[in-house]
Structure 1
Amino acid sequence: MIGIPEIRAVAERIGAHVVRTPTVTSPGLSSLLGVPVTVKLELLQRTGSFKARGATARLLALSEAERAAGVVAVSGGNHGIALAVMAAALDVKATVVMPRSASARAAEIVESAGASLRLTDDMDGAFALMARLRAEGLTLVHPFDDPLVIAGQGTVGLEFAEDAGEFTDVLVSIGGGGLISGVAAALRALRPGVRIWGVETEGAQAMSEALAAGGPVPVALSSIVTTLSAPAVSRLTYDHVSALVDEVLVVPDREAVRGTLDLADHAKVWAEPAAGCLLPAARRVLERVGDGARIGLVLCGGNATTRDVMNWAERFDLR
């Protein structure tokens, strides 16, 4: 289990390479939800998402031999972008494996950063190719099944706890579970009374299915939210979530896209549906906990293009 000492140590190491993103109260979201809302704007992070933190933590820990051989990652978008950009900044050769369903913009950024891009038909195929490249000598930078990566993502929670005012409930998106594992570890140490809620989208609900099964299980992926689409969580992230998180909520893709539009209209921020899903979940949390709630939202990323969001809005008749 990752603890606050590990998170603080990683924060020291990566501090010169990542952004301490703003933590601000949101009058627009507070009005929309009817309770005070504070947001952690991780979509303003270098590479457009929190993923830069964990990738940097892992890259800085490479041996000279590992740096020379290069690294590999599998990604639905944001982890690949983060690894490609941060590896280039640290002069490490990187290969990124992505499913063809990942956004064209993500693939473009990966290639423009100088990484080698490998595309597969689906996420299962991406993980299989990543395993083969690892066997050939590349060092894996896993998107979530790595203590250093989790500690890196935990710096989001460290900063949120240090910079925010009072909150009673914090909502964090879940893909493979690295972000919520790290954030929950930090908050349990620094804000022990806070309720922590994970949020997934339907068709990308690997953590809720793992919790129901008593451990990680493979899941069928169908969500449009590719940045949350892990084919399974890991034992490491499962253990953190089952021990530290109060509950995991699942929302439909349509509501995640509506949340993205609401964040633009009311919070004045451009988020991807992986962050947009927090708003419908927050409404459900408020129905559960009643009066007196003060909400914290970790807005994890903003790498959806305007065309992506317009297409989804049209698909779900949200325009």
Structure 2
Amino acid sequence: MIELADVLDARERVAATARHTPLDYSHTFSSMTGADIHLKLETFQRTGSFKIRGATNKIATLSDEEQEAGVVTASAGNHAQGVALAATRIGVDSKIVMPEHAPVSKVKATRNYGAEVVLHGADYDEAAEKAHEIERAEDRVYVHAFDDPMVMAGQGTIGLEILEELPEVDTLLVPIGGGGLISGIATAVKAKNPDTRIVGVQAEGASSVADSLRKGEVVEREQVDTIADGIATRKVGTETFEVIRERVDEVVTVSDAETAVALTTLLERGKTLVEGAGAVPLAALLEGRFDYDDDEVIVPCLCGGNIDLNVLTTVIMRGLVETGRYLRIRTILKDRPGELERLVQIISDARANIHAIEHDRAGKDVAMNAAEVELDLETKGAEHAEALLAALREEEYEVDVLV
């Protein structure tokens, strides 16, 4: 099990490559929660993620012979970029296996950092199987995304930075995929300040840790399903699990919908873009997934900002839906002149904005003297949406809310 000394040594190795990222007090989220919220903005790290820390530390500790042989790894994207850049800076050849559906932006970035990219498998675990085949066939060194002491120690340098700037921190919120990040941070923080609480956060669709803790052994999920692709692993690491058992105080989960709301709120109110994995700690805070006191000093670790633009569009829309700011409804109109105009006028009077209209009078489930209308509406929030629906129903429209 790694110790504080490993993290302190790692800081010396990664200093020239990894940035000391900001720790930013948030008036917005402090006001929303009543706590004292400081955001660890690892989104501003080189490669857009904390992964450069662990990758740099691992590759720097390889022997000359191992570096000459080259490295290989598997990753959904962030670790891939970290390994690619770290290897290129040291002059080591790197080959990265990424899931076939990895975000296009992360695949391109990994290639731009100098790695050869192989697309294989439906998720991280299938990509890892392929990477191990390459490891054996080409005699490369495998750089694990999380289950490696040197990788964990590199990620733990985040904990050192937080404590140096905010020694009074009460609670750290850290995302968990394979467990490398939280293992490193917990090791550093608990050694220096045992009273600081470490809360791990997983996506519901990739939540293996809670079951593993209950059963006392690593439990593997059959599949993962989450927008937080950076933490979409079927199981926690063997070595990271032991650190989590000993040094992490609590593990909670959040849904994709809650993650989408956190991401869009941070983007709108905090002017900061994160990926799904970076939003889960904030989601846990906003949804009250753990107990905390007023004025408690809490640091959500926003671990990465590498989100594909196509995914971002979907997530923003989901966030707007969840907060009642985007509404899709369906109703039936009499098929005669002026009926659509009357409906539109009610919506206009309610100060909602029509984003799209679909008018269908030929559907097989629509009466011969009627027309079905679907409308995409922009509203000011949940209360405004409810007021709009009430106004329509008061005019005797039967309204189905589709999203």
Task: Name which of structure 1's ranges 286-295 and 166-175 shifts more when overlaid on structure 2.
Answer: 286-295
| 2:158 corresponds to | 156
- 1:24 Cα offset (Å): 2.1
Distance 1:280 1:270, change over 3 A: same
Given that 2:260 and 2:318 are in contact with CA atoms closer than 8 Å, whether structure 1 keeps it comes out as no
| 1:213 corresponds to | 215
Between the two structures, name the one with larger relative contact order (CA 8 Å, sep ≥ 6).
1
| 2:189 corresponds to | 187
Task: Name which of structure 1's ranges 308-317 and 229-238 shifts more when overlaid on structure 2.
Answer: 308-317
Given that 2:154 and 2:184 are in contact with CA atoms closer than 8 Å, whether structure 1 keeps it comes out as yes
Post-superposition Cα deviations, 1:157-204, rounded to whole Å, max 9, x if no partner, equal 011111125221110000100000000111101221111100000111
Task: Name which of structure 1's ranges 217-226 and 92-101 shifts more when overlaid on structure 2.
Answer: 217-226
| 2:255 corresponds to | 252
Distance 1:287 1:86, change over 3 A: closer
Distance in 2, Cα, partners of 1:153 & 1:283: 25
For 2:304, the aligned partner's letter is: G
Distance 1:306 1:119, change over 3 A: closer
| 2:286 corresponds to | 283
| 2:147 corresponds to | 145
1:31 partner SS: helix
Distance in 2, Cα, partners of 1:39 & 1:297: 5
Distance in 2, Cα, partners of 1:21 & 1:85: 18
Does 1:133 find its partner at 2:134? yes
- 1:286 Cα offset (Å): 7.3
After superposition, the CA RMSD in angstroms is 1.6
- 1:279 Cα offset (Å): 1.9
Given that 1:196 and 1:245 are in contact with CA atoms closer than 8 Å, whether structure 2 keeps it comes out as yes
Distance in 2, Cα, partners of 1:240 & 1:284: 27
- 1:284 Cα offset (Å): 4.9
Given that 1:24 and 1:164 are in contact with CA atoms closer than 8 Å, whether structure 2 keeps it comes out as no
Distance in 2, Cα, partners of 1:29 & 1:265: 12
Post-superposition Cα deviations, 1:119-153, rounded to whole Å, max 9, x if no partner, equal 11312321110111111211011011110000000
Does 1:168 find its partner at 2:166? no
Given that 2:284 and 2:290 are in contact with CA atoms closer than 8 Å, whether structure 1 keeps it comes out as no
Distance in 2, Cα, partners of 1:166 & 1:79: 31
1:296 partner SS: strand
Given that 1:199 and 1:281 are in contact with CA atoms closer than 8 Å, whether structure 2 keeps it comes out as yes
Distance in 1, Cα, partners of 2:297 & 2:169: 5
- 1:65 Cα offset (Å): 1.6
Post-superposition Cα deviations, 1:255-279, rounded to whole Å, max 9, x if no partner, equal 1121111111222211111111112
Distance in 1, Cα, partners of 2:75 & 2:118: 11
Distance in 2, Cα, partners of 1:193 & 1:284: 24
- 1:104 Cα offset (Å): 0.6
Distance in 2, Cα, partners of 1:227 & 1:101: 13
* 1:1-319 matched pairs, under 5 angstroms: 1-123=1-123, 124-136=125-137, 137-219=139-221, 220-285=223-288, 288-315=291-318, 317-318=321-322, 319=326
Given that 1:73 and 1:97 are in contact with CA atoms closer than 8 Å, whether structure 2 keeps it comes out as yes
**Identical-pair percentage:** 36
> How high is the TM-score relative to the length of structure 1?
0.95
For 2:101, the aligned partner's letter is: S
Given that 1:172 and 1:298 are in contact with CA atoms closer than 8 Å, whether structure 2 keeps it comes out as yes
Distance in 2, Cα, partners of 1:289 & 1:217: 29
Distance in 2, Cα, partners of 1:259 & 1:68: 44
Distance in 2, Cα, partners of 1:152 & 1:107: 23
Tell me the matched-pair count.
319
2:305 partner SS: coil
Post-superposition Cα deviations, 1:17-67, rounded to whole Å, max 9, x if no partner, equal 110111121112212222110111111111101000000001111222211
Post-superposition Cα deviations, 1:94-116, rounded to whole Å, max 9, x if no partner, equal 11111122101000111122211
Given that 1:43 and 1:300 are in contact with CA atoms closer than 8 Å, whether structure 2 keeps it comes out as yes
The answer to which structure has the higher helix fraction is: 1
Distance 1:87 1:292, change over 3 A: same
For 1:201, the aligned partner's letter is: A
Distance in 2, Cα, partners of 1:105 & 1:286: 31
Given that 1:38 and 1:164 are in contact with CA atoms closer than 8 Å, whether structure 2 keeps it comes out as no
Distance in 2, Cα, partners of 1:88 & 1:241: 32
> How high is the TM-score relative to the length of structure 2?
0.76
2:38 partner SS: strand
Given that 2:252 and 2:290 are in contact with CA atoms closer than 8 Å, whether structure 1 keeps it comes out as no
Distance 1:188 1:201, change over 3 A: same
For 1:229, the aligned partner's letter is: A
Post-superposition Cα deviations, 1:211-253, rounded to whole Å, max 9, x if no partner, equal 1221112212111211101122122110111111111101001
Q: Structure 1: any 5+ residue segments left out of the alignment? A: none
